[in-house]
A and B are shown apart, each in its own frame.
Chain A
Amino acid sequence: MKIGHRRRFRRLGLILAALTASTLILAGCGGSGGSGSANDSGGTKASPQALDAALKKGGTITYWTWTPSAEAQVKAFMVEYPNVKVNLVNAGTGNDHYTKLQNAIKAGSGAPDVAQIEYQALPQYALPGYLVDLRQYGLDSLESDYTPSTWRAVHVGDGLYGLPQDSGPMAMFYDKTVFDKYHIDVPKTWDEYTAAAKKLHAADPKEYITNDSGDPGFTTSMIWQAGGKPFTTDGKKVTINLQDEGSKKWTAVWNPLVQQGLVSQIPGWSDEWFKGLANGTIATMIYGAWMPGVFESSAPGGSGNWRVAPMPTYDGQPATAENGGSTESVIKQSKNPALAAAFVRWLNNGNGIKPFLEKGGFPATVKDLKDPSFVNKPDPYFGGQQVNQVLTAAADSVVPGWSYLPFELYANTIYGDTAGKAYQAKSDLNGGLQAWQDALVKYGNQQGFEVNK
């Protein structure tokens, strides 16, 4: 969930792991291919009663996650179900976690029963058949409990591969002191946003409206908001079109900002970035609803300065996208998938939600998003603003129909190699996106998909 901490620390961990990488580790992960012997969702169809029975019977399961509330959740679960023992493992954040998970699945043993997987990474695990389709336990009946965008995010094809843990509808976080100082109105459209960027940078060349040195998660979310659907997957057939109408709509706004040097090139999640957030160098951040937690923990110096407003749009009508968010999935290697599924149901549809919210999580469940005690809670970091009013409203205006690439994690790693060059050279982002697309098409075809064929 809090994607924030992920980027900052993930490479450090990667590096430690990689010190010994070379052939030794390479040798370890080629392993037996495929997903093991567990059969597909076919066969006997169990029911929600089967989950209750599994809970009653008890057993031991392992859960890999980096969710901050996980410890409290597991503790509460084991109090409620003393028969069940949950081994909680923090296998790293983001990519660290995925590398280990991928290796354990490939090796055929050592994978957890339940693992946290971000929405953007879900297809990468679901398509090769690594995850249990939860429809066999009747969990598809829970649809009405979740927001439409998160419910869609836990599906790959028709399969249901997890229950939504949290959501990240985007909003605009802005430094009110900077806006007040230069008498700039809070922008409601992208045109106003661009005008604000110019006015601010002209008033003080050290100040920037925001930073963007090329962040694939931000790019895809921005294309999402603009109505683009660059990635479509149908079984083996994948279509990639990063020059569709929505993509071009976004680059038309973002190109001038990058080319005229109106956005800072400070990379996100770096020390410089946190400083910039705290001292007013970066005036707005357009990110998911998990951002308040990042502000509080990593930019305490900006406390009181920041506020939340809806994300600017193209026509002034509310429209937003999801940015980040995770699900918990049952890994096929699990020896006790019914118990694992029951645990997932408890975590994201039962009593697990309460400890999650207490640690500052942003829910995906409609009931909690409408709960007045959540919606109206004032946030001292944001000068007492009831930030959740803005954020929960954003959850209702997510543009429908988005899907990620089935190899989104890989796509993210090569964004800097391709599209990133355009930020660097302050050249046309469309060319950068095209280079990204070309690399992705080539990779997809090598890896068994039929891309753009």
Chain B
Amino acid sequence: MSSAVQAVSHRRWWSNRDLRGWSFVAPFLAVFALVFLAPIGYAIYLSLYREQAFFGGKTFVGFGNYTDVFSDGKFWEGAVRVLLFLAVQVPIMLGLALAAALAIDSGRLRAPRVFRLVIFLPYAVPGVVAVLMWGYLYGTSFGLAADINHLLGTALQPLSGRWVLTSIVNIVTWEFVGYNMLIFYSALRTVPEDLYEAAALDGAGALRTVFSIKIPALRGAIVIATIFSIIGSFQLFNEPNILRNLVPNVINTNYTPNMYAYNLSFGGQQYNYSATVAIVMGVLTAIIAYVVQLRGSRDAL
């Protein structure tokens, strides 16, 4: 008898609080499960099988695809390349963005709005168009590079095997400096005026204010921008994939892990292996982003 009462009260307690809460969250959860969890779950499911494109035999291979990825030279070639890209490009881009944000925030520029707009403009150019445009500039037969070589007698080869990664670094930096500058600039606008006043009263100059107030205030924004940039670097795809049209022998189908996954599935119909590459790369990205976040927030304390 008493247990029945308890059950009723328990049910009431459940329906009153949790159920109502859940009903508010339900629409989100449904969409989240459908567009986020289900595809990831399906990709994991795919990665456990191996299906032949012809005479289709589908077999369960467990972690066989994963061990293959870890010993796949083509995968690591791409992964190491994006790591190198990350190590070089992200500091350059964020450094430039930071300098631009501080310059605009300093209030010493003549036309800060124009400055801000011009730096931000490349971000508004659709990525594909931007790369096509740069591809033309880099052209050594009829492009800008050809004109410069002709004029100055140089031998610039922006799309040669040696320089193409640098050229991609340049494109990506050009595209995203403005975006990161905006993140930094808006973070700077939230610094209360009285801090600056106090610093000025304490006799801090402009540089001292930058290093003691502005940059510490930006720490959160820098961590966020770094994480975005890390994710972006690991997903490098657009730029090399379009430039591949111009230099098909320099940029391989496995130039970056994303290109590799894409070509495996759409060129070679190796969906299972492709899903495995995508998952491994996703996990790698998550780990590195998490470590950065952990370090970033610890430093902030």
Q: A residues engaging B (CB < 8 A)?
A: 7-8, 11-12, 14-16, 18-19, 21-27, 29-30, 33-34, 95, 99, 102, 127-128, 213-214, 236, 264, 266-267, 269-272, 275-276, 281, 406-407, 409-410, 413-417, 420-421, 423-424, 443, 446-449
Contact = CB atoms under 8 A, between A and B. Distances in A.
Interface string B207-230: 000000000000000000000000
Contacts of B262: 18, 21
A14 B241 contact: yes
Contacts of A128: 53-56
B58 interface: yes
A24 B46 CA distance: 12
Given A30-B42, A272-B141, A413 B253 contact: yes
A413 B263 contact: yes
Interface stretch (B90-98, B165-173, B244-252): B244-252
Nearest to A422: B249
B265 A26 contact: yes
A214 B249 contact: yes
Helix, strand, loop or mixed for chain A's interface?
A: helix
Interface string B257-279: 01001110111111110110011
Interface in B1-39: 35, 38-39
A30 B249 contact: no
Contact of B242 (A11, A236, A447, A448): A11
B52 A447 contact: yes
Contacts of B42: 23, 27, 30
**Among all A-B residue pairs, the 6 with the closest Cβ atoms:** A420-B249, A448-B52, A413-B267, A416-B248, A448-B55, A27-B42
Interface string B53-74: 1111110000000000000000
Nearest to A29: B271
Contact of A29 (B241, B245, B265, B268): B265
Contact of B141 (A16, A21, A266): A266
21 contacts: A11-B241, A15-B242, A18-B237, A19-B238, A22-B282, A23-B40, A26-B43, A26-B274, A30-B51, A128-B55, A214-B249, A266-B141, A267-B247, A271-B142, A413-B253, A414-B267, A415-B248, A417-B254, A423-B249, A448-B56, A448-B57
B139 interface: yes
Contacts of A33: 51, 56, 58
Contact of A30 (B128, B247, B250, B271): B271
Given A24-B39, A27-B42, A214-B249, 4 more contacts: A11-B245, A99-B266, A276-B142, A449-B55
A311 to B, nearest CB: 24
B268 to A, nearest CB: 5
Given A410-B269, A448-B57, A417 B51 contact: no
A29 B42 CA distance: 10
B275 A26 contact: yes
Given A23-B282, A26-B46, A449 B250 contact: no
A409 B267 contact: yes
Q: Which of B128, B267, B275 has the most CB of A within 10 A?
A: B267
A104 B43 CA distance: 18
B209 to A, nearest CB: 42
A271 B136 contact: yes
B186 to A, nearest CB: 26
Contacts of B274: 26
